[in-house]
Structure formats: structure tokens, C-alpha cells
Chains A and B, each alone.
Chain A
Amino acid sequence: MRISDRLDGDARLHDLWARGEVSNYIHHRSGHRYFTLKDQDSQISCVLFKSNGLSLDFEMKDGKNVMVFGDIAVYRPQGRVQLVARGIKKDEGLGYRHLQLEQLMKKLAAEGLFASERKRDLPRYPERIGIVTSPQGAALRDVVRTLGSYPARIILSPAQVQGDGAEKSIASAISALRGRADVVIVCRGGGSTEDLWCFNSEVVARAIFACDAPVISAIGHETDVTIADYVADLRAATPTAAAKMAVPDVDELKQSLSSAGVRMVRALWTSLERQEERLEYLMNAVSARRMYSLAQDARQRLDYLSERLEAAEARELQAQRSRLDLAKGRLTAVGPRATLSRGYVIARSAEGLILTAQDARPGQEIELILGKGRLLCRVLECRDEKEAI
């Protein structure tokens, strides 16, 4: 009784949702339904009373995954805690697995498998494209067709993409591409959530994570997102989209190649023109500069010459001076006094030196300068030289 009160008073035990798989289902003839709701590690008895069961829109049976809305209560006759259901919803058959998925997501996220820093850039021009998919699937054909004429080796790593063993098959197909591809496309065409479930597995997630080339995932349709998509470096909505992401567009590539050619020619012409302009400029610059340098040269030469001139002048002056000295010496040496001392006489009158007989007249007073002393004389006669001899 007290337990019952306790349970009734706890708000957390009312209006709750429980998720799990139905087992031990009994539709009692009273109209009430009894079953056990199970998940991986726990279970609880449930009852759905007839009145609440009228709104059930699907057929309950063992193995069905359901979501139960109701309250926890004690079934006193047996002292058993049970969930009294007020409503039951079908859980798309995947309730328990979704729960598992959430846990796996949390775990992988904590390990950094989804980290955006880890996402690698795709190679711009892959030479080897690895594809993990079913050899029979339409996805492979879509990818191959979309890769078009892009020159790359396509390396198929076949995998079973649904059913038992698919997870392991996909994981090992991814691992098999190690060192063999520049980019890997993991793809599968559309299918039921059940069909795609293998891409939610931990082994596939880890294989993608460990892949040495960037991985593009394309699983199912746009709306299907699996763990593989979260781990992949890039997620594509469809296999076709994945192939488009993996390689550059060949037509665009050709376009850019021819535009590269055009750009180079243009650049070359521009540089030619520039060189020409430069040449012209240089030529102009050269003539102006040349004039300037010529003038400079001339000025320098002038300076040099004038310097030399000064020096020469100085030397000349010196030479003149010494010649003068020399002359003076010689003059002294051969001067009239020396001559006079050798017996010659200088005769002069008031008019000047008497060099010929005609420079004097009879009766004139003249002076004779001797080697030593002078004589004052009167001219008796003037005779020409011839007569004297």
C-alpha cells in the first residue's frame, strides 16, 4: 500500500514514454492486453486495459517494437510493479535499434570520429577512385557513368550492402582499398531504413575512419543519414552526387586548359610589350644620360687640363726664371767690363755709344771707358774703317 502511494506520488513515474520490444503478448478474453516490454538489459510488465486498447491502430504481437505511454503502478495481488499503458505507438520496428544507434553515436562522437577537424580535403585530380558498393547495384553504374571521361582508374571493392554480414563485408571492402585509392566512394542506392541499417554499424564507421584516403559517402536518398555519413569526410546525397564531388568536370578542365594557354600567350605579349616600352625608355634615358655624362667628362677634362696648365705655367715660370738667372750669370761673364779688361774700350759721346767713325765728329769730346778708369778725349779726325786699314 505504501509502495503504491509512493509510486502514485512520484511525478517522474507518470505520463512517461517507454520504448522496447513486445514479448509474452497476451490478448486476454477480457479485452485487456498483457505483455512484457523489453530492451537490451531490462524489462517491465505492461498492461493495456480494454478501454485504452480501442485506439490501437496496429496489431500487437511479439517482437514488435513499440513506444508505450502510461504510468508506473503496483499490481497489488502479485506485488508487481508494472506499466499501465494508456497509449501505444508503433516504433517503426526500430525502437530498440534507434536507442542503440544513439548510444553508438554518442560513443563515436566522444572518440572524435565525427570531428570536423578530422575531415580531409578531397584530392583535386584523383588518379585512383575506389568504390565500395555492390557490383550488381545501380549505384555503381550511376557512379561510373557520372565519372564520365575523367581519366582515372576506377577500383571497385565489392561489398554486400544489405542483409546478414553486410556490415563486415562493407568494412573489409573499405579496408581492402588501403593504399590503392586517392579517394573512396562508399555508396548504395535507396532502400528501406532496414536495408540501409548496416551503414549504422560500428565496424563500418571505424573502417571509414581508418581509411587512408578521403571518403565520400552516398547512402540511400537525401533524407537517409547514417553513421557512415557522419564519419565520412564528405556526404553526398546520392551516388551520382558523390561521383561529381570526386572528380573535376572534364569539360571545365579542358576549358581551363585552353584558357591557361590563352593567358600564357597574352602574358607573353604583355611582357614583350613591356620589354619594348622598357627598351624605348632605356634608349631615351641613354641618350639623355649620355649627354650628361659627356658633359661631365668634358668638365672633368677641363678641370684636369686647367690643373695641368697651372702646373705647366708654374714650371714655365720657373724655367724662365732659371734661364734669367743663367743669362744674368753669363751676362756677367761676358759683360762689357770683362771685355774691357781684355783691352777693349767703349767709346761714347753725349749722343750715345760710338760704334762707327761717323758716330763722332772732329773736335767733339768723347769718353773712353777702359777696363779701369776713363779717358776724356777730343776727336782729331773721323776716318772710315777702310781708310784706317
Chain B
Amino acid sequence: MTKEEKIGLEEAMDDLEEIVEVLEEGKMTLEESLDLYEKGMKLVKLCQARLQSAEKRIESLTGELPPDLG
């Protein structure tokens, strides 16, 4: 698992927002923009994957979990 796959949704979304803002500001060189764009798209994919694969996991601290929720 790479570091990028490990980061949480919050961090990923925050990073993504920042990247979009920086890109929209347009103060970077073309090369830097491309790098950022690639990084941003990776984050988008990462978040999308995270949202897709959402199998809900319910756990109980006491182990007491009604069958309809397990």
C-alpha cells in the first residue's frame, strides 16, 4: 500500500481542494501545472474509489450487535 492510498478522505479532499485552487490561480509553470493536475486526478480517483468501495462496517464495543445490523 503506498502512502497515497493510506491517506484519509479528509486529507485527500483537503489536498484536492488546494490543488484545484492553485491550478485555478494559474501562477505555475506549465510543467508544474501538469504535475499538480496529475496529482489532483490521482486524488480524485482515490476518493472515488473510497466512496465506491464503501462496505459499511458496523462493530460493537461490547460485541453486542443485533443480527439485522451485522
Question: Interface residues, chain A, CB within 8 Å of chain B?
Answer: 123-125, 127, 135-136, 140-141, 144, 147, 149-151, 153-158, 173, 176-177, 180, 250, 253-254, 257-258, 260-261, 263-265, 267-268, 270-272, 274-275
Contacts and interface: CB of A to CB of B under 8 A. Distances in A.
Given A149-B51, A151-B50, A135 B60 contact: yes
30 contacts: A123-B10, A125-B8, A125-B13, A127-B8, A135-B65, A141-B69, A149-B54, A151-B9, A151-B53, A154-B57, A154-B59, A156-B58, A158-B61, A158-B64, A177-B61, A250-B51, A250-B54, A253-B51, A257-B51, A260-B20, A263-B20, A264-B23, A264-B37, A267-B23, A267-B26, A268-B23, A268-B34, A271-B26, A271-B28, A271-B33
Nearest to B55: A151
A156 B60 contact: yes
Given A151-B9, A151-B50, A264-B19, 16 more contacts: A135-B60, A135-B69, A140-B69, A151-B51, A155-B58, A156-B64, A173-B61, A257-B51, A260-B44, A264-B20, A264-B23, A264-B44, A265-B37, A271-B26, A271-B33, A274-B26
Interface in B6-23: 8-10, 13, 16-17, 19-20, 23
Contacts of A254: 48, 51
Contacts of B8: 125, 127
Nearest 10 pairs between A and B by C-beta? A151-B54, A267-B23, A125-B10, A125-B9, A156-B60, A154-B58, A149-B54, A267-B24, A157-B61, A271-B26
Interface in B24-70: 24, 26, 28, 30, 33-34, 36-37, 40-41, 44, 47-48, 50-51, 53-54, 56-62, 64-66, 68-69
Given A151-B50, A264-B20, A176 B64 contact: no
A85 to B, nearest CB: 51
A274 B47 CA distance: 30
Nearest to A265: B37
B69 to A, nearest CB: 6
Given A267-B33, A268-B33, A156 B61 contact: yes
B56 A154 contact: yes
Contacts of B28: 271
Contacts of A275: 30
Main secondary structure of the interface of B (DSSP, over half): helix
Given A144-B69, A257-B47, A271-B33, A127 B9 contact: yes
A247 to B, nearest CB: 10
B59 A158 contact: no
Contacts of B17: 260
B66 A153 contact: no
Given A156-B65, A272-B30, A274-B26, A264 B41 contact: yes
A311 B19 CA distance: 65
Contacts of B24: 263, 267, 270
B48 A257 contact: yes
A125 B28 CA distance: 29
Given A140-B69, A257-B48, A270 B26 contact: yes
Contacts of B62: 157-158
Nearest to B62: A158
B20 A267 contact: yes
Nearest to A150: B54
Contact of B10 (A124, A153, A177, A260): A124
